[in-house]
């Protein structure tokens, strides 16, 4: 049985390592989480909890180089969000070389004139 990471105190790097360990242990060839799991219900990750992709940006032809993924990690009553950045090029593919960091959902009001 895998020990449970204390999600409340876990660093973003600790969470990333747990995710990559899960991906490698299950034989997936994907370079990072978002392209492996797009299920709103998430996936149970041993030692971490339920992980779901909640937002992706970029990664497709014509989207530019920048891309990111935001994941939600839930462990009992604790929920945290993490954002991982990278870039995509049509020649070189996808590179998740950016940092992973904690983020929080924020509602913003935007005024547009049409």
How do residues 29-85 score in pLDDT, each as one tens digit?
A: 555 655 545 567 888 888 999 998 888 877 666 555 788 889 999 999 999 999 998
Q: Residue 90 is encoded by which pair of tokens?
A: 């049509």
Residue 47 near residue 18 (C-beta atoms within 8 A): yes
* pLDDT of 32: 61
User: What is the value of pTM for the model shown?
Assistant: 0.81
Residue 100 near residue 15 (C-beta atoms within 8 A): yes
* pLDDT of 78: 97
Q: How far apart are CA 107 and CA 50, in angstroms?
A: 24
């Amino acid at each position: 049985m895998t020990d449970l990471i204390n999600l409340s105190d876990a660093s973003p790097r600790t969470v990333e390592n747990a995710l990559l360990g899960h991906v490698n242990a299950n034989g997936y060839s994907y370079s990072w989480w978002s392209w492996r799991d797009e299920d709103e219900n998430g996936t149970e990750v041993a030692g971490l909890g339920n992980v779901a992709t909640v937002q992706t940006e970029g990664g497709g032809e014509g989207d530019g180089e920048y891309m990111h993924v935001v994941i939600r990690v839930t462990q009992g009553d604790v929920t945290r969000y993490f954002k991982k950045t990278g870039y995509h090029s049509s020649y070189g593919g996808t590179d998740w070389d950016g940092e992973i960091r904690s983020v929080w959902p924020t509602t913003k009001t935007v005024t547009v004139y049409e």
